[in-house]
A and B are shown apart, each in its own frame.
Chain A
Amino acid sequence: MSETLSKQEKSVRRSRWGGETGVAMVVFALLALLPTVFSGYVIYILPQYMLFGLLAMSLGLLWGFGGILSFGQAAFFAVGGYAMGLMMQQALPVNAAYLGIIVAVLAGGGLAAIAGYFLFSAGVRATYFVLITLALSIIAEQIAVSQSQITGGWNGLFVDRMSLTFGPLGEVSLYGDVAFYYFVLPLIVLCYLGFRWLTLSKVGKVLVGIRENEDRVIALGFNVSAYKTLVFALSGGLAGFAGALYASQANFVSPSLAGVLFSTEVVVWVAIGGRASLLGALLGGILVSSLSNYLSAITPEYWQLLLGIIFILVIAFFKSGLSGAVVQLFQFLQRRRG
């Protein structure tokens, strides 16, 4: 394929890959340096927010690129968390956490694939899809509450910190917060790069096409429902992955992780961070959830109120969120200079 690309096309592709990825690398480098400056609570809690960011990125992929909004993203996160917790309880000959992560990804992705296939092949409207995913998260929460002999009901499930084993080479405990931090960060970088690559690939272009004009993409002969199912499954799998790591980091999963309120919080993160870019969604998740934690300790009611108002303003005036506003600002400055 690459021989057929002209020089110009190649440079366009390179610059597209470069711009945001460059910014992302700077962000990741800064995150990597943080434990040298901070210690204690910040380093304990930040991996949690980075995993929330990963959850937000999974929605960003779905919403920003496929134009499919899900109000049930937390359901897959919780499924991943419970999968991890239940696997860790088993006495397995291999590292239970590894298996937990694999099961979490497969369960999140598999459930999303089934639900997605079922709904997209029927041509269920985008707005109905939102409602059905909202119902999915309610069902997930209720199952987590009612099946208490497995899930611990309202009390939730205790999950151990995982450790890394390398066969005969030995074992690295992730019990320490710094260790966990440096375990999670590279995984997030890898997820980001992988999904960024995906959005720039042909699949990503078809998804953007579906977002912009679904009928035309159908007319071009693409199997739109298959692409939608694929992106929903990928996003469910990523959410499950984030959930599994979260369970191990927080030592705990509870039904509220699947709930409607948490599910829609994810939507708010992505809207504010910016759905047009994966980095925007990722940073939206990290920043808004850390700010929520910080400010809800000081002024819980007024912070939630403020968040609601910001959400309205973003939806009404900044469709592409903060990241879109930053991009626009740069373009504006460049035009003035040039």
Chain B
Amino acid sequence: MNLALSIAVDATLITLVLALAAFGLAIIYGLVGVINMGHGAMLTLGAYFAWATTTAGIPFGLAVLLSALGVCVVGLLFEHLVIRFFYDRPFETLLLTWAFFLIATEVIKIVFGTDFRNVESPLPGAYELAGLKIPAYRSAVAGFTLLLIGASAFVFFRTSIGIKIRALIQNREVASLLGLNIALTYKLVFGFGAFMAGLAGALIAPMLSIDPYIGNVFLVRSFFVVIVGGVGQLLSGTLLGSFFIGGSETLFALFTNQVVAQAAVFFIAIMILRFRPQGLIKGR
């Protein structure tokens, strides 16, 4: 019984951390149709910014916000210089954002070096609940993810900017005829996606040791979260996809090692794609 409970807690925490990592990707892919292969590099950048700011003595909460803003600025610059000319060509944006990954990774290596870095956890240790040891920081991040997704749901479904964005997804031409500034909205969406990626990177930083390639681990997983959940299903899709990817990884890791578990998860994700190419929750 206790084992089942602890597996459930583990799976929930992994699901929510993964949902946090995938959210920025889901926003950019779901709303403006760009497969952002630079997502992993944005996460890494967020983690390094968090390392730099906390090392400079800035308190953790503010450091996270600054890191996210920093990645947002980088993302906006990239969008303005390159991506905005290619919105209607998904294949090109895929390659261009991959080039962003290559360049960002090298810049990170030049600026920060290749040694492992650590961000000290603001909430070290674990607390006990119903006889279970629950890692404090991880659960705080999980709670924050829920809050964030809830807030996004509110913005998306209850505010005028949310209505505009949804109108844009449904019909670009009509939305532009109604006086919506398409170019600006796309830019805002891309910037917000980058912000979320930076936020996720900074929040994940205390959970692992940082190297220039940490984002890679999350890149493919995040993609599978998005396409397994269903593209354009920002909230429920991201959560459900994360549950499938993160949960099954927890489950497999019980019976075999981490490496085989990850391969198995990818394999399952490919199967789901094969038989439900639209994702579990059908998109537009």
Interface residues, chain A, CB within 8 Å of chain B?
69, 118-119, 122-128, 130-132, 134-135, 138-139, 142-143, 145-146, 260, 264, 267-268, 271, 301-302, 304-305, 307-309, 311-312, 315-316
* Contact mask for chain B residues 219-245; partner A; CB cutoff 8 A; 1 contact, 0 none: 010011001000000000000000000
Query: In the complex, how many angstroms separate the beta carbon of B106 from the nearest chain A beta carbon?
Result: 4
Q: Which B residues are CB-close (under 8 A) to A119? A: 270, 274
**Does B107 reach chain A (CB closer than 8 Å)?**
yes
| Contact residue among A124, A146, A308 (Cβ-Cβ distance under 8 Å from B106) | A308
**Does B273 reach chain A (CB closer than 8 Å)?**
yes
Most chain A beta-carbon contacts within 10 A, residue among B91, B99, B269, B275: B99
Selected interface stretch from B145-153, B182-190, B197-205, B254-262: B254-262
Q: Which B residues are CB-close (under 8 A) to A124? A: 273-274, 277
Q: Which B residues are CB-close (under 8 A) to A131? A: 35, 220, 223-224, 227
Residue of A nearest to B98 (CB): A264
* Contact mask for chain B residues 99-111; partner A; CB cutoff 8 A; 1 contact, 0 none: 1101101110110
Q: Which B residues are CB-close (under 8 A) to A309? A: 99, 103
A143 to B92: give the CA distance in the assembly, Å: 31
Question: Contact: B269 with A135, CB < 8 Å?
Answer: yes
Question: Contact: A311 with B102, CB < 8 Å?
Answer: yes
Most chain A beta-carbon contacts within 10 A, residue among B35, B102, B103, B109: B102
Question: Contact: A138 with B96, CB < 8 Å?
Answer: no
A122 to B103: give the CA distance in the assembly, Å: 35
Q: Which B residues are CB-close (under 8 A) to A311? A: 95, 98-99, 102
**Does B82 reach chain A (CB closer than 8 Å)?**
yes
Residue of A nearest to B40 (CB): A260
Question: Contact: B90 with A127, CB < 8 Å?
Answer: yes
Q: Which A residues are CB-close (under 8 A) to B154? A: none
Q: Which A residues are CB-close (under 8 A) to B105? A: 304
A264 to B38: give the CA distance in the assembly, Å: 13
27 contacts across the A-B interface (CB closer than 8 A): A69-B91, A119-B270, A122-B273, A122-B275, A123-B277, A124-B273, A126-B91, A127-B94, A128-B277, A131-B220, A131-B224, A132-B273, A134-B220, A135-B266, A135-B269, A135-B270, A139-B266, A142-B263, A146-B263, A264-B102, A267-B95, A301-B110, A304-B102, A304-B106, A311-B95, A311-B99, A312-B103
Which residues in window 105-127 of B have CB below 8 A to A?
Answer: 105-107, 109-110
Question: Contact: B274 with A122, CB < 8 Å?
Answer: yes
Most chain B beta-carbon contacts within 10 A, residue among A119, A131, A268, A304: A131
Q: Which B residues are CB-close (under 8 A) to A142? A: 259-260, 262-263
Q: Which B residues are CB-close (under 8 A) to A118? A: 274
Most chain B beta-carbon contacts within 10 A, residue among A143, A146, A268, A315: A315
Question: Contact: A260 with B91, CB < 8 Å?
Answer: no
Q: Which A residues are CB-close (under 8 A) to B262? A: 138, 142
A311 to B92: give the CA distance in the assembly, Å: 11
With A69-B94, A135-B220, A305-B110 given, name 15 new contacts (CB 8 A): A119-B270, A119-B274, A124-B277, A131-B220, A135-B266, A135-B270, A139-B266, A146-B263, A268-B102, A304-B102, A308-B99, A308-B106, A312-B82, A315-B92, A316-B82
Question: Contact: A146 with B260, CB < 8 Å?
Answer: yes
Question: Contact: B273 with A146, CB < 8 Å?
Answer: no
Question: Contact: A305 with B220, CB < 8 Å?
Answer: no
Residue of A nearest to B223 (CB): A131
**Does B267 reach chain A (CB closer than 8 Å)?**
yes
| Contact residue among A123, A260, A307 (Cβ-Cβ distance under 8 Å from B216) | A260
Q: Using A139-B267, A143-B263 as known contacts, say yes or no to A308 and B103 having CB atoms under 8 A apart.
A: yes
Q: Which B residues are CB-close (under 8 A) to A312? A: 82, 96, 99-100, 103
Q: Which B residues are CB-close (under 8 A) to A305? A: 103, 106-107, 110
Most chain B beta-carbon contacts within 10 A, residue among A118, A123, A312: A312
A136 to B216: give the CA distance in the assembly, Å: 14
Residue of A nearest to B276 (CB): A122
Query: In the complex, how many angstroms separate the beta carbon of B224 from the nearest chain A beta carbon?
Result: 7
Q: Which A residues are CB-close (under 8 A) to B260? A: 142, 146
Query: In the complex, how many angstroms separate the beta carbon of B107 from the nearest chain A beta carbon?
Result: 7
A260 to B266: give the CA distance in the assembly, Å: 14
Q: Which B residues are CB-close (under 8 A) to A301? A: 106, 109-110
Residue of B nearest to A303 (CB): B106
Residue of B nearest to A145 (CB): B259
Q: Which B residues are CB-close (under 8 A) to A123? A: 277
Residue of B nearest to A119 (CB): B274
Question: Contact: A315 with B96, CB < 8 Å?
Answer: yes
Query: In the complex, how many angstroms separate the beta carbon of B77 from the nearest chain A beta carbon?
Result: 13
Q: Which A residues are CB-close (under 8 A) to B227? A: 128, 131
A312 to B105: give the CA distance in the assembly, Å: 14
Q: Which A residues are CB-close (under 8 A) to B103? A: 305, 308-309, 312
A312 to B38: give the CA distance in the assembly, Å: 13
Q: Which A residues are CB-close (under 8 A) to B82? A: 312, 316
Query: In the complex, how many angstroms separate the beta carbon of B3 from the nearest chain A beta carbon?
Result: 25
A260 to B216: give the CA distance in the assembly, Å: 9
Query: In the complex, how many angstroms separate the beta carbon of B137 from the nearest chain A beta carbon?
Result: 28
Query: In the complex, how many angstroms separate the beta carbon of A220 from the nearest chain B beta carbon?
Result: 23
Question: Contact: B99 with A132, CB < 8 Å?
Answer: no
A134 to B98: give the CA distance in the assembly, Å: 12
Q: Which A residues are CB-close (under 8 A) to B223? A: 131
Q: Which A residues are CB-close (under 8 A) to B275? A: 122
Q: Which A residues are CB-close (under 8 A) to B270? A: 119, 132, 135
A146 to B106: give the CA distance in the assembly, Å: 28
| Contact residue among B90, B95, B102 (Cβ-Cβ distance under 8 Å from A307) | B102
